[in-house]
Structure 1
Amino acid sequence: MSERTAFEDQPPRTVLLRNGTVHSPADPFATAMVVENGSVAWIGSEGAADSFADGVEDVVNLEGALVTPAFTDAHVHTTATGLALTGLDLTGVPTLAEALGRIRAHAAARPADRVLLGHGWDASAWPELRAPSRRELDEATGGRPLYLTRADVHSAVVTNALLDLVPRARELSGYSADAPLTGVAHHAVRAAAYDSVTPAQRQGAQRAALARAASLGIGSVHECAGPEISSADDLTGLLGLAAAEPGPRVTGYWAEAITSVEGAGRVRELGAVGAAGDLFVDGSLGSHTACLHEPYADAPEQRGVAHLDAGAIAAHVIACTEAGLQAGFHAIGDAALSAVVDGVRTAADKLGLARVRAARHRVEHAEMLSPELIAAFAELALTASVQPAFDATWGGDEALYARRLGTERARTLNPYASMLRAGVPLALGSDSPVTPLDPWGTVRAAAFHRTPGHRISVRAAFTAHTRGGWRAIGRDDAGVLVPGAPADYAVWEGGELVVQVPDTRVANWSTDPRSGTPGLPDLTPGAPLPVCLRTVVGGRTVYGGPNG
């Protein structure tokens, strides 16, 4: 938005925080911090803090609490997250029978909803190992329209009543008479379902999602919008809400392929920083739509779906680079990632490698990366926007990934350690509502990856979930608490601070402050996660107590 809002016109107060632990590379022993005009002004020791006491408006006694940079969730669907928080969420439901019971109760509780909306079912975790049938859904809803997305949001089950609202869906690719909808058919019914959401419902969902993010110490989110995911009104409404009210910063991406200056102008008019996010090159592993070089282990006749080829990818990257926009893609399968690399290389051949690298184009998910693809990501400076909770939820030798790909291929997924060693920039996120907003859980999932060789240190994961998100949008001066940086921070109640590394052959943490490395909470599986006491964005409190 070009004009200032009432919230923006409220000047942030000058605040001294003291008697705690400040996570800062500027001073690993810091216990105090001064915030002025929305930026970090000073970081240092408790004794030196006394000299600031008379020059500040507020003094906050941290009482031993930890202060860290606020998290950035680099991949969020805000409205869908809010609808799940305020509506029907089947995440973690253990059986098909219980899911149908929840649907039945939700339908009874929402008699005025024109279309019933829900999210989160995962038949791979149910004893029945199948999705609910259309007949079962018709019975559970009393014949009302229902749109219910799988956990990965790449397929959905629907009632006949919803299909009747979109008659052409039965003729589109991805339609099945009694199986989850995918592809074009899924996009058509999703558009109809979300068209039923009123502006008031949408804004309420967005507020709920941003409030949840703030309560978890998240100071920024990257909204991955697009014509096949949400709508232009949804994106512009969210950006306007975020500018007008206290809450996390929202950076918008619009997932529409462009080939011209006019297309780039459309992206900018929407307030997006790039034509990126969920611009689909393929689908998901759970829905058998991620595009693979070799067939699925549990569906030998399938190799997934390719939505864009290398030529289309190159055209998009060239247009974005020339327009000064970030390009980006959703790519999970190895064949899809190969197409991305081939397309970006073609763009680099035309425009010059340095120019393409400087644009910091990004790839969402990037799960099936071979060593050759990792090297290409590093060469092309492609940011990998990744979701460690995917591995925590579906990784390991007995879970979904192993069933879809076989154990050996599944063990190659999400190779974070190799990516960091090669110099691939990482930004961590949730893809909420696919997996929940949970920043410390995300850091833990990266540090304790189900494949030990892919684990990274807690410090590296934390950096990717804070500074990495800012770097992914072209900002190198934020996401870290040093003088001059934006005062986006969170205050935490937690246990002992340690320095954890991924090597489990030896004691994997140290509490010796002489290392000069700032500690972080113990995230060993089973240890309680830190509790957020306050979140501050630009020097203004957006969650917690009244003082900054």
Structure 2
Amino acid sequence: MRAMLTAVAALVLAGCNQQVAEAPDLILHGGTIYTGLDRLPPVEAVSVKGGRIVATGTSADLLKTAGSATEKVDLAGTYLYPGFTDAHAHLYGIGERETSLDLDEVKSIAELVSIVGEAAKTLPAGQMLFGRGWIETHWPEARFPTRQDLDAVVSDRPVVLERADGHAMVANTAALKAAGIDGKPKSQPQGGRIEVDASGLPTGMLIDNAMGALAVLQTAPSEAQIDATYEKGAAREISLGWTGVHSMSVAGSHVPRINELSDAGKLNLRIYNAIDGSDFDKGVFGETADKMVTTKAVKLYMDGALGSRGALLNEPYSDRPDTSGLMIAQEEPTLALMKKAYDQNIQVCFHAIGDKGNELVLDWMQRTFDAAADKAVADKRWRIEHAQILRLEDIVRFHQMKVIPSMQPSHAIGDLYFAESRVGPRRLLGGYAWRSLIDAGAMIAGGSDAPVEQGDPRIEFYAAVARKDLEGKSGPQWHPEQAATREEALKMFTIWPAYASFREADLGTIERGKLADFTGFSGDIMQISDAEILKVEPTITVVNGKVVYKRPAPAA
């Protein structure tokens, strides 16, 4: 049997390696190239013409096809993979993170307060201070920050600090007053929560839709600022090895800017946009002529995040029995929008984290499918973004309904520190259930949710296969049996995101005729130890047959 497989592989490779009529534009050689094709061994070289792959094979054979104008790139031992796609990120937010107060590394409320106080000193008088990225789950104070914490260092200007998950903010008293929400709330916003203290006054914490009250404090960015932000975000993505991104909750007004920037060659990233649901009727669906930017999806929200207790649960939170989370979506208007999306062939990307949130989304999708005249032949590929806490009986529904779970492995290795306290051990049996979903037949589109997480493909791949934190720690409640294999993890960031964006005929594997998107790392992530995955370096990123990033040579 082994001899037969070897013979078949040799025939396939020989067919791929036949000489082409014209010299290729680019030959990448001298590496180990994982094609992503099942049961086929790595190759040494790949050649590209017109942005598409024309051959794979040995370096010696492919270099013979080079012409005088062919660019030859010696991989010098680099390990090359099909282009990694971040199937859930916020490209604008990634760019914003590069220019705003980054609180990702803050380790306590005391440190947060100190950083905020120093940052305020650098701003003009009265200018609002905005920061993002804090998360309190490891802080010694073991609580959310409050307006009083911020008031102690900054009281003369609004301060707004967004939690890492993007589903909660803390504001100082000046910000609450400016937004008109500093007194006892008469009611709570639909799909949101203004946290209050024992006297009924706001603590400064605003959850999900309650954050909208602070929108009046923000000034709209200029077109130049929007462009610069997207350029910064794209530059970071390709420097990490991402060749594509499924950008979520994109403002409809930004889509023409993204298209123009891409056409001008300023992004060098393959972008699949899911616009915010409120912008559905703005007429921005479509794609650029070269298909580098596609806008074919809409992003909806069922609930909030687990960390800020906004994820919608069937039963109350284990560590706060007075709440079961928040239901952001309203049934009647959301079902109407879903029908409109179905009829116009627009993909629905529905945020759901809690078990009740996921159950409702699956139910509403099923109702939409059942009411459709073409349900027997439709290929809609609707998605649930995050799908973090599932009822065990809902796991099989993803494959049965042809719904794609779009999941971010780094969420698991961060959330599992506190997830058991939020939902208890029983509900955690369906938490971050990659193994169970894959075994049930689902294809997981893997992403990072940057800037909520770091947005690093090495961390995401590691988290998927190791299911441990970045120091290698885990525990029984982390359910290590839910980890993915190396081969499955590669698919989670290559061919499965391609399928999730209707591009599997063009992307996701390295084979003749497909688009030349490649990700290169300094190490063999298919073979090295789990811990070593985090230490490899991005070496080369190729998009559409163009080298868009190369690791700088070490300083002499």
* TM-score, normalization by structure 2: 0.83
- CA distances 1:404-444 after superposition (whole Å, capped 9, x unpaired): 11233234311001111111121111111111111121011
Paired residues, what number?
499
Q: Does 1:111 align with 2:110?
A: no
1:214 to 224, 228, 238: 238
Alpha-carbon offset, residue 51 of structure 1: 2.3
Q: Secondary structure of the residue that 1:41 maps to in structure 2?
A: strand
Aligned AA for 2:152? E
Aligned AA for 1:293? N
1:15 to 15, 18, 26: 26
The answer (yes or no) to whether the contact 1:16–1:52 under 8 Å persists in 2 is no
Aligned-residue sequence identity (percent) comes to 28
Q: Does 1:458 align with 2:486?
A: yes
The answer (yes or no) to whether the contact 1:117–1:146 under 8 Å persists in 2 is yes
In structure 2, distance between residues paired with 1:420 and 1:288: 27
Alpha-carbon offset, residue 362 of structure 1: 0.9
In structure 2, distance between residues paired with 1:178 and 1:253: 34
The answer (yes or no) to whether the contact 1:381–1:425 under 8 Å persists in 2 is no
Residues 241, 158 of structure 1: CA spacing in aligned structure 2 closer, same or farther, 3 A cutoff?
farther
2:313 to 292, 295, 301: 292
The answer (yes or no) to whether the contact 1:91–1:120 under 8 Å persists in 2 is yes
Aligned AA for 2:321? P
Q: Does 1:338 align with 2:359?
A: yes
- State the match for 2:276 in structure 1: 255
Alpha-carbon offset, residue 353 of structure 1: 7.2
Q: Secondary structure of the residue that 1:117 maps to in structure 2?
A: strand
- State the match for 1:186 in structure 2: 211
- State the match for 1:510 in structure 2: none
The answer (yes or no) to whether the contact 2:27–2:45 under 8 Å persists in 1 is yes
Q: Does 1:384 align with 2:384?
A: no
Residues 196, 102 of structure 1: CA spacing in aligned structure 2 closer, same or farther, 3 A cutoff?
farther
- State the match for 1:37 in structure 2: 50
1:482 to 482, 505, 511: 511
- CA distances 1:62-96 after superposition (whole Å, capped 9, x unpaired): 11111112211111112222222222111131111
1:273 to 255, 276, 295: 295
- CA distances 1:161-214 after superposition (whole Å, capped 9, x unpaired): 32344326865622341141123320231x335435444444333222211111
In structure 2, distance between residues paired with 1:543 and 1:194: 34
The answer (yes or no) to whether the contact 1:219–1:249 under 8 Å persists in 2 is yes
Residues 113, 67 of structure 1: CA spacing in aligned structure 2 closer, same or farther, 3 A cutoff?
farther
Gaps of 5+ in 1: 1-11, 499-519
Aligned AA for 1:371? L
Q: Secondary structure of the residue that 1:182 maps to in structure 2?
A: strand
Residues 430, 356 of structure 1: CA spacing in aligned structure 2 closer, same or farther, 3 A cutoff?
farther
RMSD between superposed Cα atoms in Å: 2.6
Aligned AA for 1:88? L
Alpha-carbon offset, residue 475 of structure 1: 1.1
- CA distances 1:248-279 after superposition (whole Å, capped 9, x unpaired): 12211113169xxxx556352798634433x1
Alpha-carbon offset, residue 36 of structure 1: 0.8
Q: Does 1:492 align with 2:490?
A: no
- State the match for 2:303 in structure 1: 282
The answer (yes or no) to whether the contact 2:252–2:276 under 8 Å persists in 1 is no
- State the match for 2:260 in structure 1: 240
- State the match for 1:515 in structure 2: none
Give the stretch that moved more between structures: 17-26 or 165-174. Answer: 165-174
1:317 to 316, 338, 351: 338
In structure 2, distance between residues paired with 1:473 and 1:137: 43
Alpha-carbon offset, residue 240 of structure 1: 3.1
Question: Superposition pairs for residues 67-146 of structure 1, below 5 Å?
Answer: 67-111=80-124, 114-146=127-159
Aligned AA for 2:207? T
Give the stretch that moved more between structures: 58-67 or 36-45. Answer: 58-67
- State the match for 2:194 in structure 1: 175
In structure 1, distance between residues paired with 2:27 and 2:123: 48
- State the match for 2:383 in structure 1: 362
Q: Secondary structure of the residue that 1:123 maps to in structure 2?
A: coil
Alpha-carbon offset, residue 136 of structure 1: 2.4
The answer (yes or no) to whether the contact 2:341–2:348 under 8 Å persists in 1 is yes
The answer (yes or no) to whether the contact 1:491–1:535 under 8 Å persists in 2 is yes
Give the stretch that moved more between structures: 94-103 or 48-57. Answer: 48-57
The answer (yes or no) to whether the contact 1:443–1:461 under 8 Å persists in 2 is yes
The answer (yes or no) to whether the contact 1:320–1:327 under 8 Å persists in 2 is yes
Aligned AA for 2:462? R
The answer (yes or no) to whether the contact 1:253–1:272 under 8 Å persists in 2 is no
The answer (yes or no) to whether the contact 1:40–1:485 under 8 Å persists in 2 is yes
- State the match for 2:15 in structure 1: none
